[in-house]
Each structure stands twice: as structure tokens, then as C-alpha cells.
Chains A and B, each alone.
Chain A
Amino acid sequence: MIVHTINKVSALGLCNNLIAEDDKVVLLEDGVYLGLQPLPFLVFAIRFDVDARGLGGLLAAHTESIDYSDFVRLCAEADKVCSWF
């Protein structure tokens, strides 16, 4: 399982076709805007960045909001972390 991090909306286009079914996607910084729409992956969004943009309560139903300790745990559970930016 790979954790993919995405820090801006445009970076999704780089990795869209490279994310496997059991991979996880962590949205951070401006990437959290992607969490507003349903995506065909397991999606997590950094709560600090969601709140900083006033997006709390607006995330798509299956976008899970997480803190940095959850982010660390996801990285530890993954085989590797791939950052898209």
C-alpha cells in the first residue's frame, strides 16, 4: 500500500492513473479542495488545512478529516510514501 500526498488540485492529474485500489491519498495544503468532491480512492484530508480554508463540514462524505498524528500513522502503515506536488 502506498500513501500518496497531494498538496494542490492540479497535482491530481499527475497521479490519477497511478493510484492503486488499496492505496491511500492524503490531501494537504491547497490539495484539500479536492476533498470537496467524491474521488475514487480512500481519501484523507489534513484537518488543519481544511479548517484554514473554511472547508469544515463541506468535505465529501467519504473524505476523512485527520490530524498530523493520523498522517504519521498512515505513513508508518504504508510500504512507501509518494508525494505529488
Chain B
Amino acid sequence: MNFAIVVHGAPYSSEACLSALKFAKAVLASGHSINRVFFYHDGVHTANSLIAPPQDEAPVSEQWQEFGTGNNIELIACIASCLRRGILDETEADRYEKSGSNLAPGFTISGLGQLIDASINADRVVTFGV
């Protein structure tokens, strides 16, 4: 069975991205697949490569990166949510003439169409809200 996962909450202000990661790992461990993980609203903060948590805390952003790249699963951050919150890849940083980009490796900035596409093609959509 194919799952799409949607994450609405930011690390440290919501448990959504941590719960979603545990769920995503369990989906794969159960023999199912994930077609895409879509980070929406404050969830896009997960894609910020500049997050620097204390060493004794689980780095949830890095864990998502490892999960995405290790399992070849698309991690999409909503472009409208990203721009408003200062999550930029190099292209967007150039376009808006900002001083730098901060999109974490393994994440891709893209549009809401990716959520619609994931929802249409998945057998189940599971959303983790704030």
C-alpha cells in the first residue's frame, strides 16, 4: 500500500514532524511504500539546514534528511510556505536577492500541485497537524 504523508508542524513548536517521522519509518518497516512527504505551513521549518540543536537532542531535521535520502523518498517543502518563512534554495535566494540559501539537502521546494498529485496517487494520506 502506498502512503502520502503531510506535515504541518515545525520542529520545537509542534510534535508533528517527530510523530510523522516515526510513522513514516513504521510504514516502511511494515512493507508499505511512501510516494512523497509534503511539508506544509510551519512544517517547512523542518527543511531549514541552519537549525543547530544541542548535541544531546535528537536532530529531527537531519533525521528526516537521512530518512528521505536513505530510502529515496521525495521530501517536498511547499514553496509558498517556504518563501514566507525564509526557507530558500539557491534559485529562490537569487530570485529574491537574499543573502543566502538554507534549504537542507534531501528536501525540494515545489508547489501545492505535488500535494494534490501525492494525494491522488496514494492509497492513504495521513496528515500530522500542529
Give A contacts to B, CB under 8 Å: 5, 7, 28-29, 46, 48-49, 67-69, 71-73, 75-76, 78, 80-81, 83-85
The answer to whether B129 touches A68 (Cβ under 8 A) is no
A69 and B8 contact, CB distance less than 8 A: no
Contact A85 B22 (CB under 8 A): no
- Which residues 4-25 in B have Cβ within 8 Å of A in the complex? 8, 15-16, 19, 22-23, 25
Shortest Cβ distance from residue A21 to the other chain B in the assembled complex, whole angstroms: 21
Q: Are B8 and A68 in contact (CB under 8 A)?
A: no
7 extra interchain contacts, Cβ-Cβ under 8 A, other than A72-B26, A76-B1? A29-B15, A49-B15, A68-B25, A69-B30, A72-B23, A76-B32, A85-B16
Which secondary structure dominates where chain B touches chain A?
A: mixed
Q: Are A72 and B27 in contact (CB under 8 A)?
A: yes
> Closest approach, in angstroms, between the C-beta of B103 and any C-beta of chain A?
26
Interface residues of B, Cβ cutoff 8 Å to A: 1, 3, 8, 15-16, 19, 22-23, 25-27, 29-30, 32, 123-130
Which B residues lie within 8 Å of A69 (CB)? 26, 29-30
Q: Contact check: which of A29, A84, A85 meets B8 at CB < 8 Å?
A: A85
Shortest distance between the CB of B14 and any CB in chain A (Å): 8
